[in-house]
Structures are given as structure tokens and as C-alpha cells.
Chain A
């Protein structure tokens, strides 16, 4: 068994390495089609994001949320079509590691924003500070 060829679909439950294509799409042509679909979807989402950032058709304050949504969608497309992460049983370990990574990323980013906005809120403004000097 070669190290990088897709797993044989013999009903076995062998794990897949991250980035390794599953048994559902053997051969060059099927793989190429999958990558082309991924490229088209990712390209479409990129164009949509750049359009959303510059258009006046979307309600202004909602644009940031739209951009974040498009970004997350594109990351999902990359994970599925380029990194071949699936929810199949042979990918459990990879998905669990990814979920843990996302949890830590969420803690770091949201925690930093929360703490720093609190500190900014509590801090004495600069003019006040100057007046307090003897």
C-alpha cells in the first residue's frame, strides 16, 4: 500500500492522515474535479467578499458581519476541498484536533478583546491623568 494513494474502499475502518484523499474519489480525473469545484467555490466567495466590502447595496453596519461570514465559509471550503477534512469516521482524530484548535483560537481572540475593552473602559483618560499630576 502506497503512502499517499487514496485508501482502498474495502469496508475497512483505517484512519486517514489529514490531507489524504478518501476512498470515495479515486483516480486523477475525480480528484481534479474536486479541486476545480473547490477553486470555483473559494474564488466565488473571495469575489463576493471584495464586492461586499466596496458596495453600497448592503446596510453599512452589517458589512463586517457579512465579511466574517464569507471568510468562515471560505475557510470551510478550503478545509473540505483542499485539505480533505470530512466528518467520516476515518477522520475523527483530525476533526477533533481541529475542533480543539478552533476552541483555543476562540478563547485567545475573544478573551483578548473582552479583557482589553474592559481595561480601556476602566482606564483613567489621559487629560484626567494630566490634571492629577501635582
Chain B
């Protein structure tokens, strides 16, 4: 500090810059509170993705609202209690929760720059997500085969829209996960790849939060008489 202070003294004048008056200028990195320029990239990227996720959740809330409104509009067709198998939902829930946990382990491994553990944890995360998706596709196929497809009643339309939208997000997440594994392998723990992974982990954990709402409202409350 003292050397830089003396270096900044104007050579041929008695006026010296008082650096204590402008502490922000010396800081290497901004705080994100509006001091010292724009926030670091890690904050900008993470916060921007957080805003996207919240808007995504707002979109899901519209699907939840339509399901809540149309839940009783079965048009003489099968009701939730007749269709849904809670055993299947239990396994799906366990898969997604463990997948979210493994994604957290991968985050820790990325922090510590453990390549093998990162790849292993992401692989398990992806396999559990794939198992979830397979169970969901199987459930959908079973429903359609029983004549309870999305065109049967307003209730089933809203069900397939809501749960299918979550499934589509999981599918996109799995593609992103594969990309992250390849990029960690090929490019290493570069700062931009790590920021990308931070966004992916937010995405994956947020999908698990949405699934909590789905299994509570659609399945557990839905099958109640």
C-alpha cells in the first residue's frame, strides 16, 4: 500500500493523491453493491440465470393453476385416483432427489478440481435422471394405452401439459449434463466452464423443487377422494 501510494504522488508538486478517499479504486474486484464498477462475471452470470429460473417457475405456476382449475373436469373419464400409481411416483421421487444430491457432490468436486469425481458424480446424476425419465415415459405410455391420453378430458390435458413440461425440462437438462461432462473432460476447469456448471446445478436443483410441487399437488393431493 505504501509503495503504491508514493508512486502515485505527483513528482513536481506538493499535492498528493489521498488514496483513502477513494478506496474503491484500489479494489481489484467490485462488491456487487454498485461500488467499483460492474459486479464480477460470476455474479452477473449466476444472477442472470437465477432470474431465468424464476421466470421459468412463474411459467410452471401457470400450468399448476390450470391443473388446479381443471382437476375436476374429467368429462366422465377416469379420475386421478383411478389412474395414478403412487408406488411409481415414489420411485421417481427417490431418483430425482438422489440425482439432485449427486449434482451437489459434483459441485463440491468441481470446487476442488477433482476431475474423476466430477465425472463420476455427473454420470450418476445423469443415470438417475434418465431412470426418472424412463419411468415417466412408461407412465405416460400406460395412460395413453388405457385411453387416458391428453385428449380424453380437460383434467388429463392439464396433467400431461404440466408433468410433460417438467419431463421436457429434465430431457433438456440431461443433454446439458452430457455437454458439461464433455467440456470438463476436454477443456478442464476453466472459469467459463465452471460458471456454466454453476448454472447447470441451479437448473437441476430447481427442477427437483418443481417436482416436489408436482408430486404433492398432482399425485398425493390428486388421488385423495
* A65-95 near B? 1/0 per residue, CB < 8 Å: 0011011001100110011000000000110
- Residues in A with CB closer than 8 Å to B160 are none
The answer to whether A112 touches B69 (Cβ under 8 A) is: yes
Q: How far is the CA of A3 from the CA of B197 in the complex (A)?
A: 11
Main secondary structure of the interface of B (DSSP, over half): helix
The answer to whether B111 touches A4 (Cβ under 8 A) is: yes
Smallest Cβ-Cβ distance to B35: which chain A residue: A13
Asked whether A108 and B58 contact (CB < 8 A) given A39-B101, A50-B86, the answer is yes
- Residues in B with CB closer than 8 Å to A111 are 65
Which of B43, B86, B98, B201 sits near A15, CB closer than 8 Å?
Answer: B43
- Residues in B with CB closer than 8 Å to A109 are 61, 64-65, 68
Smallest Cβ-Cβ distance to B194: which chain A residue: A4
Judged by a CB distance under 8 angstroms, whether A104 is at the interface is yes
Q: How far is the CA of A109 from the CA of B162 in the complex (A)?
A: 14
- Chain B's interface size range is 35 or more
* A-B residue pairs, 9 tightest by C-beta: A17-B46, A15-B32, A101-B54, A71-B216, A112-B65, A105-B61, A18-B50, A53-B220, A35-B104
Judged by a CB distance under 8 angstroms, whether B183 is at the interface is no
The answer to whether A50 touches B61 (Cβ under 8 A) is: no
Central interface residue in A3, A39, A52, A116, by most chain B CB within 10 Å: A3
Give the residues from 1 to 23 in chain A that come closer than 8 angstroms, CB to CB, to chain B: 1-6, 12-21
Asked whether A28 and B33 contact (CB < 8 A) given A18-B47, A82-B104, the answer is no
The answer to whether B66 touches A112 (Cβ under 8 A) is: yes
The answer to whether B50 touches A94 (Cβ under 8 A) is: yes
- Residues in A with CB closer than 8 Å to B182 are none
Judged by a CB distance under 8 angstroms, whether A100 is at the interface is yes
- Residues in B with CB closer than 8 Å to A16 are 43
Name B's A-contacting residues (CB within 8 A): 29, 31-33, 39-43, 45-47, 49-51, 54-55, 57-58, 61-62, 64-66, 68-69, 86, 90, 93-94, 97-98, 100-101, 104-105, 107-112, 191, 194-195, 197-198, 201-202, 205-206, 208-209, 212-213, 215-217, 220-221, 223-224
Which of A31, A42, A52, A112 sits near B108, CB closer than 8 Å?
Answer: A31
Q: How far is the CA of A80 from the CA of B191 in the complex (A)?
A: 25
- Residues in A with CB closer than 8 Å to B40 are 14
Judged by a CB distance under 8 angstroms, whether A24 is at the interface is no
Which of B58, B100, B109, B202 sits near A19, CB closer than 8 Å?
Answer: B202
Q: How far is the CB of B104 from chain A (nearest CB, A)?
A: 4
